[in-house]
Amino acid sequence: TLADGVSAYKTAPKFSATKVEDNISVDEVSLFVKKRASDASAQKVSIPLKDGAFTDVQPVFTATDGSQDGVYTYWLEVTDQAGNVISTAADAKTFTYDTTKPEITIGTLTNTDPATGTTYKKVSVPITVNDTNIALDKIVVKDNEVVVANNDSRLSWTQTATGYEGTYTTSTQDITLDGNHRITVDARDNATNAAEQKSITFNLDQTAPVINAKIGETDIKNGDEKHVTGTPDFAFTIDS
């Protein structure tokens, strides 16, 4: 069994074995590890017996560039002093070796109604997280440092062959505060590799400007009818 009880690792996992029979030739107790569907032969690791118990062992993984990443099959073979061979190959287990960080991409703002520059009435932020060894609850989206739950109506996700694609849409909020928004995305895969955080900033403005009009010192409202003599003195101000 895997010594620490998890299924994905960014360093070589430790394996533990339990001695269930005293009549064992310890020279013939071995762990076999093989990359599923690619390795021609399995890596063999002898499991030594010390003080009446087996010592935890690790297969050898030297690459940290992703070249050894993948799903591995492992099994044990034991030969006792009578020459009986027991193999668990028919019931082999698997684990995932993963040294690659998830990759986050924030795309161009879509579904926008820009007023000027980076100011918008509504915004949809496209997000892509590439990592085949990641769960959705390991992806964290924040709006101005406030976590957006994955079941929030503003956030939608689709699982793809390479990870997840999502969209964060501000226009579906019940209450939207105008002002600057900084969207950040973090991700950590099942082997605890952490992605480089990505972010985007924009200004949200859903408040229509208000035009104030006066004739002299008298306010004019939409639809008002005023009668003046002489040349009227109009004044206008705009509250944005």
CA distances from 226 to 13, 230, 231 (A): 85, 13, 13
Check: CB of residue 26 under 8 Å from CB of residue 36: no
Q: What pLDDT was estimated at residue 187? A: 97
Tokens of 221: 């409202």
Distance in angstroms (rounded) separating the CA atoms of residues 233 and 238: 17
pLDDT digits (tens, 9 = 90+) for 9-58: 999 888 887 766 666 555 568 889 998 767 778 898 888 777 667 788 88
What 3-state class would DSSP assign to 141?
strand
Q: Between the ranges 13-27, 100-114, 225-239, where is the mean pLDDT highest?
A: 100-114
Q: What pLDDT was estimated at residue 189? A: 95
Distance in angstroms (rounded) separating the CA atoms of residues 98 and 237: 62
State mean pLDDT over 173-184: 72
Q: What pLDDT was estimated at residue 175? A: 41
Q: What is the DSSP string of 48-111?
A: -EETTEEPPB-------SSTT-EEEEEEEEEEETT--EEE-GGG-EEEEE--PPPEEEE---BS
pLDDT digits (tens, 9 = 90+) for 198-209: 999 888 877 777
Q: Which of 37, 38, 45, 39 is nearest to 75 (CA)?
A: 45
Q: What is the pTM of this model?
A: 0.76
State mean pLDDT over 91-116: 84
State mean pLDDT over 225-235: 65
Check: CB of residue 34 under 8 Å from CB of residue 44: no
CA distances from 148 to 14, 85, 169 (A): 36, 55, 11
Q: What pLDDT was estimated at residue 172? A: 43
pLDDT digits (tens, 9 = 90+) for 122-168: 788 999 999 999 999 999 999 999 999 888 888 999 999 999 999 99
